[in-house]
Amino acid sequence: MRVISGIRKGQRLKSPKGTNIRPTEDRIKESVFNILGVIDEGAIVLDGFGGTGSIGIEFLSRGAEFCYFIDNSTDSIRLIYENLTRTKFLDRSKVIKKDFLTAIKHLKVEGVSFNYIYLDPPFRQDGYIDKLLHSISKEAILDDDGLIIIEHESELSTEDEVYNFIKVDSRKYGTKTITFYKKSR
CA distances from 180 to 72, 96, 133, 172 (A): 24, 24, 12, 12
What residues make up the domain containing 152? 114-185
The list of the chain residues with pLDDT below 70 reads 18-23
Residue 23 has a pLDDT of 67
Q: Are strands 176-183 and 142-153 parallel, antiparallel or unpaired?
A: antiparallel
Report d(CA 149, CA 39) in Å as an integer: 14
Is the pTM of the predicted complex or chain greater than 0.85?
Answer: yes
pLDDT at residue number 20: 58
> In whole angstroms, how far apart are CA 5 and each of 9, 18, 33, 38?
4, 27, 9, 11
Is 108 a domain residue?
A: no
Residue 74's identity, in one-letter code, is: T
The pLDDT assigned to 24 comes to 75
Please count the structural domains in the chain.
Answer: 1
pLDDT of residue 21: 61
| Helix (H/G/I), strand (E/B), else coil: 45 | strand
pLDDT (0 to 100) of residue 26: 77
- Residue 120 sits in a domain whose CATH number is 3.40.50.150
